[in-house]
Structure 1
Amino acid sequence: MKQNKELVNIGFDIGIASVGWSVVSKQSGKILETGVSIFPSGTASKNEERRSFRQARRLLRRRKNRISDLKILLEENGFRIAKLNQLVTPYELRVRGLNEQLSKEELSVALLHLVKRRGISYSLEDSEGEGDNQTSYKQSVSINQKLLKEKTPGEIQLERLEKYGKIRGQVKDLQEENAAVLMNVFPNTAYVREAELILLKQKEYYSEITDNFIKEATALISRKREYFVGPGSEKSRTDYGIYRTDGTKLDNLFEILIGKDKIFPNEFRAAGNSYTAQLYNLLNDLNNLKIKTLEDGKLTKDQKLSIIEELKTTTKKVNMMQLIKKIAKAEESDISGYRIDRNDKPEIHSMAIFYKVRKKFLEQEIDINDWPIDFLDILGRVLTLNTENGEIRRSLTELKKDYIFLDETLIELIINSKDSFKLTSNQKWHRFSLKTMQLLIPELLNSSKEQMTILTELGLLHENKQDYSNKTKIDVKNLTENIYNPVVRKSVKQAMDIFNSLFKKYPNIAYLVVEMPRDEAEDEVEQKKQAQKFQKENEAEKEKSLKEFQELAGVSDSQLENQIYKRRKLRMKIRLWYQQLGKCPYSGKTIAAEDLFWTDHLFEIDHVIPLSISYDDGQNNKVLCYSEMNQEKGQKTPYGFMQSGKGQGFSALQAMLKSNSRMSGAKKRNLLFTEDINDIEVRKRFIARNLVDTRYASRIVLNELQQFTRSKQLDTKVTVIRGKFTSKLRETWRLNKSRETHHHHAVDATIIAVSPMLKLWERNAEIIPMKVNENVVDIKTGEILTDKVYQEEMYQLPYASLLEDIAVMENKIKFHHQVDKKMNRKVSDATIYATRSAKVGKDKEPQNYVLGKIKDIYDTKEYENFKKIYDKDKSKFLMQQLDPMTFEKLEKVLKEYPDFEEVQQDNGRVKRIPISPFELYRREKGPITKFAKRNNGPAIKSVKYYDSKMGSAIDITPQTAKNKKVVLQSLKPWRTDVYFNQETKEYEIMGIKYSDMQYLNGNYGITNERYKEIQREEGVADNSEFMMSLYRGDRIKVIDTNSDESVELLFGSRTIPTKKGYVELKPIEKTKFDSKEIVSFYGQVTPNGQFVKKFTRNGYRLLKVNTNILGNPYYISKEGINPRNILDTGFKG
């Protein structure tokens, strides 16, 4: 790569699933190079899905292992393993075995059944339901508990099988209106006890059954690896379990997820709900407060102790602001330095968990203030680390020897009250260990210092500096290990890979500016939802403000539209007027709607905190006021202005804002801001809030880039800025943002790259911080400017030709898309589909159909689905074809009963409410039953139907199944191999799915036999030449040699297996095509923007376009002699 020695600025716009970047000449402002990298976002939800499937596989594997071990035990002791007689169920054998002799084969069947389905591992009182099902779950568990006092699980299950025809799932008596739901939930101990009773009875008949045999057999039924142990053992070590490959052993697998304290690296981070963590958080917040009425603006030790005492002893919920006001003898406007929550309200730690737990235990006349602090800390850890009640019980039982007061009654109470210990935030673990906080707490109590100062003074703050002097690139792996949000981590990795490539080409970097992604959203979908919600709320307020204003001003629609058109700022003024309830906040006077409409020059929009201080040009820093008030206020805060005796007075302003429900909390805080804006530290805090991004991940990135540039002895200045700053520049320069394509990421990156060159920074402060800590920025500040001067210098274009350059750069933007080549992904949807071969509708020959199911014909919504199918084609119902007599009973109900019922409303009117006719029949005569000569058939609840013809599927039918077939559908495509047929002069393609892959001898791939089979199925000739392999996200260029036209697209996948050569393609510069868009010689796409076409035709030439991380293209027509990833004989890639 040829180096460019020019001095440049580099900007990064890092998003959730994209990174825009731009390189701009510092001297000329010329855009030298720009691009966008697109990739799937990292999501926690996908990790969770993979974990759940992995857990399911592990449970199945362990079940097979238990069954295998029991078979060995049985055979060693002379009990032959035989197939079950179909006329006898295992439940019958288990019940008979309690009272009479079983044959050896029958006993084997009974024991294998018990070891296969052996119940839940904890007691029934510890079992928990989820969501809407919780009430019925608890009710069912209560029923099972009572029954187990007299019966074994086998006896209960056999009774239900004989009475209801099923055991598993939710069982309900259809004859009873409000019958309880019965669930097959029994504890493992009950199954073990049943096995013991069976074996003790059978011991009377078989000498082979010894006490040792009974012990070994029941041990297999109860055998369970603790979930916190994980896989592996002392002899077979793995880093996925507590037996680590480095020889160490963890007490609990989840310890590695907790993380270690950076101050004391050998100490685990403390639980966020521990007493020590809560006290530390409270003191840290109290020390950050500034209170005007106090001598040095800080709370004293005695005042802090008074607050702690109040929080520890109160039985009423505490409002922290009210408590601090009382202790400090101050007004709310005198207090600052607190955090703000999402609802724009003051957020100060209040030991909320301690309060909740104490209140809960006081109901049992137990005061947790009497418990030792170390016990409260351990309790927090136990309840955070363990999720199941049984595990909590086991952990607490082990603590009984250390704490005399901890008895079984208290353990039970703690388990029942565990929800009181739950944190509402995601921060279950504190960033510090108990050891660190125990050192800091006395210092925080006795002084007004904040944590960073104390750590520095104690010599505990060690900067983790990376020496890059002998390295040519950022250590991306080390950097991203410290970013815990998976979404942000993936985005930062992409950005740093791009930086490493750019640094090779542009070693002389003047400014390096980064904008980080928002870390609240989980992925692109969540981000879009948040954006749409914000937009909806914004539009709603705009509409309400215009409607109210128009009514009070007494003007017509056309008058309002004309006035808004002529007076550019009128729309904003109306919205501010609406938020302020028609009042001027400075004078307190009413702003009449008609005055604002006809003489809006009498009113001005003012920045509450001067722009050159706040760097906030957003709505929360703007108000509508009388012009003379704006002139008098000048570059002061409302507090500073009113303290000089002008305006309506600060107390009147406070009262006005208190009664205003329309104005945001952020705007109210700006209006009530009382600190001195000439104070350097105050101004730095505004920069931290509105200009420089001080979030955790942002600080990690900033510090790493600073270390890299300093190690290289470069004069590069690095900063991480907030998105609203660049958004305002874009808005002011009228660079409309279209999210329909990916180009806007590169445009944003260019704005970010030129932002350090704004005229404002030349004489007034800097955008580049020397150091950034949490909410603290070490940065140079400048003089206070008028809003007019600020806006002139902030928004003046740094380069005269910038807008023209941006306008023409669209065709120069380079795109890089992440290609997905991974082989061991999900092969299909997890749903198992039943299938049948049948002739339905116009079928001439039997076809394989996937079955659907109406789960409850008595339910109104399910009946609606039934009726749709019935009206369209009733032959789709299996019952209509296989059991016509029963189907006739259903049809008779449809004819005789209506699909509505008339209900009298409170106003006396009668309203028709939809209802299932089957439900009306059930209420009158009981559930519909299957046809039987004596009319004693089983009740019908569900009905199956032929849903759709089966496509590509994996047959997972058990070998024991008869006349039935079950499959997995929606097979996921992995790769498409492209061949060229020299005889026909056409390309031929074959699609390989994840389901075709195998894992052999330590490698993933496809066998030669399966590969050849797909070739034949897809019609690829034996003598065709292999050209290339295409994965999802690969870029291609297709040339029509007849017309010399060409088009570049992204490859999606081989699709529609029934049609030869069809693929799905996507555009490079946007997510999908527009509705019915014309794509060169391929023609029009579908109305929903989907491009599914025959890939190539005679006369087409195909090139694969490989791109590096910067999007530089490399065109190839053939990439190898043979395809890759063929596992056995044949091709070798």
Structure 2
Amino acid sequence: MEKRIFGFDIGIASLGWAVVDFDDTADPENNIYPTGKIVKSGVRCFPVAENPKDGKSLAFPRRQKRLQRKLCRRKARRMAGIKALFVANGLIDRASLFDEKENIYKARDKADVWDLRVKALTEKLTTVEFIRVLTHLAKHRGFKSYRIVQEKADKENGKVLAAVKANRALLENSKTLAQIIVEKGGPKRNRDDREGNSTYENSIPRDEIEREAKLIFEKQRELGLTAATEKLQRDFVGIAFRFREINGKKIEKMIGKCLFEKDEPRAPKNAPSAEFFVAWTKINNCHVRDNDGKLRFLTQEEKDAVFELLKNKKEVKYADIHKKLFPNRPDIRFADVEYNPKPVFDKKTGEIKEPSEPESLKFFALKGWHDLKSAIDVSAYPNEWLDKAVTVIATQKNDANISKELKNLGFSASDAENLAGLSFSKFISLSLKALYKILPEMQAGKKYNEACEAVGYDFKSTGESFAVQKGKFLPPIPESLATTVPVVNRAMAQFRKVYNVPWRANTARPTKSMSNWRATFITTMTNAGKLPQSKTNMQKKRKRSKHRRAANWSWPISADATC
């Protein structure tokens, strides 16, 4: 029977395609074998949607510059507000702050402002010195951490946090960090070292700057400085240390909607119910083979035992399940495990290593569940509370807001503080409302499709099947279905363009209808998720191979050629 086959090879910077007419008629006795003919083929190249050096988005430099402009604009507004506050309270005239010639900040005979900050804690300042100190505090107001657990993971922010922690340890006898930095000598500002790496040895946390400002106001009032009023202190703190809270509601709007409950947001990937859902999917699909070759699924008792093992152990391997369920049955084999693995070639050392034990393969791990267990006593709260806690942690980006929301949910103050030290971010395609309906059915032994049918969900209706799409153009991918990876989005957009070309050509020619189209083969991107360094190494390897082939190739010279 003659049929037409489409083939696509989707890469991150190119898309290969081919149309093949294939006749699978076979009659070996009469020397008739399947034959095929390439009707048309080609390659579509397009720019990769990432920086090849570091793998970052092409919009990353533009986004960073936009953030810098915002920071500079907010800092300028803050400093303008501080200076306007000094003028409004009669501390100084406007020209002395804003005029370029009479500016107090540019006077040549002025003292070092760091020395003035130390002096302000023991001696009375003049009004001009007091203004300079407050301006310096507002301009260099220190480092503020919103989510410590995430900033520790960031390389640069981790260095800042380490320096801040070290500087806090130096505080003693109610000294300020400004006093310690001045007494220590050397540069008072953070500078780059000889290699150009940023150093943060003089980093001061914002709460310490705020404490220093409070101490200076109190001491200057004691020493009789009339300008250091309580009203000025309140207004100064309100302007100098204000910051824009990260709005968790805006983040919630970015979360997609559930496949079944269209008005419900998706559940966090590490919520207990979401992890239990994935775990039961794997458990219900796990099957074993006896010594006689019969394939069977696990019994309900065996499934419950595996689930309890997952809840009590951080990472469960097939060997752990074998030991738990079949301690005296070495003949039992898991269908998902390759029991005759081949030797592994180590590219770094160039050695051939013996394969590891077949059942050392990881089965599953309830990462979020065990993170919660390490932070609090999970048995003290129902799973619904834990799901809400993980949702709060995944959507809020401020430790203070997370603790507040968790306390409102009913968690104790200590548990809320411990939970705020966790970090969750990703989401699955189903909502908690849908999971609460599906999960009991799956725990009873039903597979995902059976559980959906039992609760009234039609899992087939989440999108048109490919058979229904047959004969139609592929529409643009809606924003709700687009991924958060620009490389994937661009590749799929290019695939749609290439895919629609044969339809356009064949609808224009009725004689070449698509009625004999039988299959489409698609090979997706294999290096989209690889690290930038590994991609760079692959490119270098290809380039070396290309040069090597060029060096070994020579022009053919005929016997009668003359020089």
Same-fold call, TM > 0.5? yes
What does 1:790-809 correspond to in 2, within 5 Å?
none
Secondary structure of 2:462's counterpart equals coil
- Alpha-carbon distance change, 132 to 186 in structure 1, aligned in 2, over 3 angstroms: closer
Indicate if the aligned counterparts of 1:293 and 1:328 stay in contact, CA closer than 8 A.
no
Indicate if the aligned counterparts of 1:311 and 1:355 stay in contact, CA closer than 8 A.
no
Residue 124 (structure 1) shift:
12
Residue 42 (structure 1) shift:
1.8
Secondary structure of 2:491's counterpart equals helix
Partner residue in 2 for 1:286? 283
What does 1:102-117 correspond to in 2, within 5 Å?
102-117=125-140
- Please tell me the residue identity of whatever aligns with 1:395: I
Match of 1:407 among 404, 413, 417: 413
Cα deviation 1:845-898 (Å, max 9, x = unaligned): xxxxxxxxxxxxxxxxxxxxxxxxxxxxxxxxxxxxxxxxxxxxxxxxxxxxxx
Cα deviation 1:242-294 (Å, max 9, x = unaligned): xxxxxxxxx44333444222122222222222222222222111100123459
- Alpha-carbon distance change, 188 to 137 in structure 1, aligned in 2, over 3 angstroms: closer
Q: Residue 90 in 1 paired to residue 86 in 2?
A: no
Indicate if the aligned counterparts of 1:286 and 1:304 stay in contact, CA closer than 8 A.
yes
Say which structure, 1 or 2, has more relative contact order (CA 8 Å, 6+ apart). 2
- Please tell me the residue identity of whatever aligns with 2:179: E
Cα deviation 1:930-986 (Å, max 9, x = unaligned): xxxxxxxxxxxxxxxxxxxxxxxxxxxxxxxxxxxxxxxxxxxxxxxxxxxxxxxxx
Match of 2:244 among 225, 233, 240: 225
- Alpha-carbon distance change, 322 to 8 in structure 1, aligned in 2, over 3 angstroms: closer
Match of 1:165 among 165, 187, 201: 187
Aligned equivalents of 1:269, 1:125: Cα separation in 2: 25
Partner residue in 2 for 1:13? 9
- Alpha-carbon distance change, 146 to 374 in structure 1, aligned in 2, over 3 angstroms: farther
In our comparison, the structure showing a higher alpha carbon Rg is: 1
Percentage of matched positions with identical amino acids: 23
Match of 1:327 among 322, 325, 332: 325
- Please tell me the residue identity of whatever aligns with 1:18: S
Cα deviation 1:429-456 (Å, max 9, x = unaligned): 2332222222122111212x21122213
Partner residue in 2 for 1:488? 488
Cα deviation 1:138-158 (Å, max 9, x = unaligned): 366234344166222432333
Partner residue in 2 for 1:518? 525
Indicate if the aligned counterparts of 2:372 and 2:419 stay in contact, CA closer than 8 A.
no
Aligned equivalents of 2:265, 2:21: Cα separation in 1: 48
Indicate if the aligned counterparts of 1:11 and 1:23 stay in contact, CA closer than 8 A.
yes
Aligned equivalents of 1:506, 1:739: Cα separation in 2: 41
What does 1:457-856 correspond to in 2, within 5 Å?
457-461=454-458, 462-465=461-464, 473-478=473-478, 481-507=481-507, 508-509=513-514, 510-511=516-517, 513-522=520-529, 528=535
Cα deviation 1:991-1039 (Å, max 9, x = unaligned): xxxxxxxxxxxxxxxxxxxxxxxxxxxxxxxxxxxxxxxxxxxxxxxxx
47-56 vs 61-70, which deviates more?
Answer: 47-56
Aligned equivalents of 1:270, 1:527: Cα separation in 2: 33
Secondary structure of 1:273's counterpart equals coil
- Alpha-carbon distance change, 529 to 96 in structure 1, aligned in 2, over 3 angstroms: closer
Aligned equivalents of 1:301, 1:374: Cα separation in 2: 24
Q: Residue 211 in 1 paired to residue 230 in 2?
A: yes
More helix by share: 2
Partner residue in 2 for 1:151? 175
Aligned equivalents of 2:337, 2:259: Cα separation in 1: 24
**TM-score if structure 1 supplies the norm length?**
0.38
Partner residue in 1 for 2:206? 188
Aligned equivalents of 1:72, 1:128: Cα separation in 2: 37
Partner residue in 2 for 1:379? 389
Q: Residue 438 in 1 paired to residue 450 in 2?
A: no
Aligned equivalents of 1:369, 1:357: Cα separation in 2: 11
Partner residue in 2 for 1:269? 266
Partner residue in 2 for 1:450? 447
Secondary structure of 1:513's counterpart equals strand
**TM-score if structure 2 supplies the norm length?**
0.71
Q: Residue 368 in 1 paired to residue 375 in 2?
A: no
- Alpha-carbon distance change, 199 to 322 in structure 1, aligned in 2, over 3 angstroms: closer
- Please tell me the residue identity of whatever aligns with 1:214: Q
Indicate if the aligned counterparts of 1:157 and 1:167 stay in contact, CA closer than 8 A.
no
Secondary structure of 1:400's counterpart equals helix
- Alpha-carbon distance change, 455 to 328 in structure 1, aligned in 2, over 3 angstroms: farther
- Please tell me the residue identity of whatever aligns with 2:307: I
- Alpha-carbon distance change, 739 to 328 in structure 1, aligned in 2, over 3 angstroms: same
Indicate if the aligned counterparts of 1:282 and 1:348 stay in contact, CA closer than 8 A.
no
Secondary structure of 1:269's counterpart equals coil
Match of 2:162 among 133, 138, 141: 138
- Alpha-carbon distance change, 496 to 350 in structure 1, aligned in 2, over 3 angstroms: closer
**Over aligned residue pairs, what C-alpha RMSD do you find?**
4.5
Aligned equivalents of 2:327, 2:452: Cα separation in 1: 31
Aligned equivalents of 1:157, 1:328: Cα separation in 2: 65
- Alpha-carbon distance change, 357 to 57 in structure 1, aligned in 2, over 3 angstroms: same
- Please tell me the residue identity of whatever aligns with 2:15: V
Aligned equivalents of 2:337, 2:86: Cα separation in 1: 67
Aligned length: 485
Indicate if the aligned counterparts of 2:290 and 2:331 stay in contact, CA closer than 8 A.
no
- Please tell me the residue identity of whatever aligns with 1:306: A
Indicate if the aligned counterparts of 1:480 and 1:489 stay in contact, CA closer than 8 A.
no
Residue 378 (structure 1) shift:
3.0
Cα deviation 1:141-192 (Å, max 9, x = unaligned): 23434416622243233334xx1134314799xxxxxxxx972222212212
Aligned equivalents of 1:124, 1:514: Cα separation in 2: 45
What residue ranges of structure 2 are gaps of 5+ in the alignment?
24-34, 98-102, 345-355, 508-512, 554-563
- Please tell me the residue identity of whatever aligns with 1:378: K
Aligned equivalents of 1:430, 1:333: Cα separation in 2: 37
Aligned equivalents of 2:288, 2:153: Cα separation in 1: 49
Residue 352 (structure 1) shift:
4.4
- Alpha-carbon distance change, 477 to 287 in structure 1, aligned in 2, over 3 angstroms: closer
Indicate if the aligned counterparts of 2:392 and 2:405 stay in contact, CA closer than 8 A.
no
Residue 48 (structure 1) shift:
4.6
Aligned equivalents of 1:154, 1:261: Cα separation in 2: 53
- Alpha-carbon distance change, 262 to 110 in structure 1, aligned in 2, over 3 angstroms: same
Residue 118 (structure 1) shift:
0.7
Indicate if the aligned counterparts of 1:488 and 1:519 stay in contact, CA closer than 8 A.
no
More strand by share: 1
